[in-house]
């Protein structure tokens, strides 16, 4: 089943209702807000796919606040594939946490103008794949505020993740 979305509200609704094998396709445009995947999981043979209709023409944009874990896209479920989107103006852009966030693929993304981490794998987010992403231009305006860091990709207590062929540019002191 293909779920076509064209507003922030329909995007979150699709994230809430998608089931294994579904594909969420974002029309060209800007989707403002914080989005969460916390309902259903895909399966090894039928992941749930989220992608732009036209590569990098669907933009997920936030309203950065210089606070920890003010995430653009938070993922708590397994077997999702996020690809071909552009994400910008977030604090932490993509955040995966816990044992439920395993076997997720993040690929062919452009992540820019953020204040914390481009992609973060935390507390048991295992067996994920981060590949072919461009992560750049960390905005330094939050430096020293609320312990916000400046990572391109960060992994904390998460194991067996594959991180390959990513380009990380100008993210500050931590890379």
Query: Which residues lie below 8 Å from residue 115, measured CB to CB, with a gap of 6+?
Result: 64, 66, 90, 91, 92, 138, 139, 141, 142, 148, 150
pLDDT digits (tens, 9 = 90+) for 41-90: 999 999 999 999 999 999 999 877 776 667 899 999 999 999 999 999 88
Q: Are 161 and 127 in contact (CB under 8 A)?
A: yes
pLDDT digits (tens, 9 = 90+) for 117-143: 899 999 999 999 999 999 987 666 666
Q: In what order do the strands lie in the sheet with 105-107?
A: 2-5, 23-26, 48-52, 80-83, 105-107, 129-131, 162-164
pLDDT, position 91: 82
Taking the complete model, does pTM exceed 0.85, yes or no? yes
Query: Which has more pLDDT, 92 or 165?
Result: 165
Query: Which has more pLDDT, 148 or 153?
Result: 153
Query: Which has more pLDDT, 66 or 161?
Result: 161
């Amino acid at each position: 089943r293909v779920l076509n979305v064209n507003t922030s509200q329909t995007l979150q609704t699709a994230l809430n209702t998608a089931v294994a094998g579904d594909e969420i396709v974002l029309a060209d445009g800007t989707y403002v807000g914080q989005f969460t995947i916390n309902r259903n999981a895909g399966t090894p043979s039928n992941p749930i796919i989220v992608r732009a209709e036209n590569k990098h023409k669907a933009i997920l944009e936030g309203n950065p606040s210089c606070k920890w874990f003010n995430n653009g896209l938070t993922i708590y479920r397994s077997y999702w594939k996020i690809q071909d989107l552009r994400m910008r103006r977030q604090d932490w852009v993509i955040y995966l946490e816990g044992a439920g966030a395993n076997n997720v693929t993040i690929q062919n993304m452009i992540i820019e103008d953020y204040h914390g981490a481009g992609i973060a794998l935390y507390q048991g987010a295992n067996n994920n794949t981060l590949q072919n992403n461009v992560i750049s231009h960390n905005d330094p305006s939050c430096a020293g505020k609320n312990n916000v860091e400046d990572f391109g990709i960060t992994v904390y207590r998460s194991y067996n993740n594959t991180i390959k062929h990513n380009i990380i540019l100008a993210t500050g002191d931590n890379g």
